[in-house]
Amino acid sequence: MIERTLFREEHEIFRRSVRKFMEREIVPHHDSWEETGVVPRELWRKAGAEGLLCCTVPEEYGGLGLDYLFDVVVFEELWRVGASGPGFLIHTDLVASYILGFGTEEQKRTWLPKMVSGEAIGSLGMTEPHAGSDLKAIRTRAVRDGDDYVINGQKVFISNGQLCDIIVLATKTDSQGGAKGISLFLVEGDRPGFKRGRNLSKLGMRAQDTSELFFEDVRVPAANRLGAEGQGFPIMMTKLAQERLAQAVRSAVVAETVIDWTVDYTANREAFGKTIADFQNTQFKLAELKTEATIARVFTDKCIELFMNGRLDATDAAMAKLWTSTLHCKVVDECLQLFGGWGYMWEYPIARAYADARIVKIAGGSVEIMKTIIAREMFKDHLGSRRRSE
């Protein structure tokens, strides 16, 4: 098998520590979190104490100042144990990243140390009932009033929504400005007028709290704006490749893990006097899936390398997400079939993996959007010349 060469010894030492944390603090309790639809805040503080949150945040803001691969290790080990909660990825990879990249010095010093320790939980407020992948269509408004902005609107499908202490919120500050009318704000979870709606009941990812959020005349100071007014859309665009890479990392790990579960199960489960692994159909099916998963792994690791060198572009990230998310769903479906009726039982991890998988073709941009991005790059010269001739 192809050896992974991204990680150094210090990453693997950290991985062993993270794996122990998962086995001790998450695996024994995950069933109950799926029932309640949320993880306890105490888990976040424990993760912070172990150095699992926001690994790349510099020491001056309370972090460890490590490279991105340490965050990757945490994400991989979460998904390796099938943990649909907690929402460390949103907190670490997006919210903290937005604040670190575009926040003022005061914003960084106020929030990043708390996010590193797990004292404050971050959430990203972008999706609305009428605006999913089309971020330009958001309706939540922020109107300037003296030294403040007054925010009204609604968000939906918001991960960490029930627990969040700080939200990176996308709003319209100019309703006629299209993409140039979008601004981002940091909104504290205890602001008057901010209300948490239902903890939504989902097909999968049931331990991850996912909420409706409502903003009714929420007043925030102008100092809470993240970046310049009207610059929200360009700022969000800078993070899309990173978000899609994280989705690819998840799908690559889950595909490998599910295949391993299936090899173990079929090697021990008997039917018609021999193990299921003895049947040629089983061997051929798993051989195909293993090959495709290895392709996904090699490409995803290459994209991680490109990202760390500042060279991962939107098209490569879109291809990574398209390939891995499609494979993710294929692997859990075909592997569940090899588990037979037991694969349909919730007590088996493969059943949970099947339920959790479907979101990956939607989250972080749907596969249709990924295809559009890829095709646009492929045909950009042709379409450009045609427009000029018209």
Q: Does residue 383 surpass a pLDDT of 70? A: no
Label residue 385 by pLDDT band (50, 70, 90).
low
Does residue 243 carry a catalytic annotation? Answer: yes
Whole-number pLDDT of residue 51: 98
Same fold, 9-120 and 234-385: no
Architecture of domain 234-385: Up-down Bundle (1.20)
Whole-number pLDDT of residue 389: 47
Angle at which helix 232-268 crosses helix 314-339, to 10 degrees, equals 30
CA dihedral 100, 102, 105, 109 (to 10 degrees): -30
Domain ranges of the chain: 9-120, 124-229, 234-385
Per residue in 112-165, pLDDT (tens digit) is 999 999 999 999 999 999 887 777 889 999 999 999 999 999 999 999 999 999
Q: Which residue would you say has higher pLDDT here, 307 or 384?
A: 307
Distance of CA 313 to the CA centre of its chain: 18
Q: Give the integer Cα–Cα distance in Å for 71 and 45.
A: 17
The pTM of the full predicted model, rounded to 2 decimals, is: 0.94
Architecture of domain 9-120: Orthogonal Bundle (1.10)
Average pLDDT in the 206-227 region? 97
Task: Answer yes or no: are the C-beta atoms of 296 and 219 closer than 8 Å.
Answer: no
Among residues 34, 229, 243, 256, which one is catalytic?
Answer: 243
Question: For the ranges 136-140, 192-196, 379-383, which has the lowest average pLDDT?
Answer: 379-383
Whole-number pLDDT of residue 390: 46
The class of domain 124-229 in CATH terms is mainly beta
Label residue 386 by pLDDT band (50, 70, 90).
low
Per residue in 279-306, pLDDT (tens digit) is 999 999 999 999 999 999 999 999 999 9
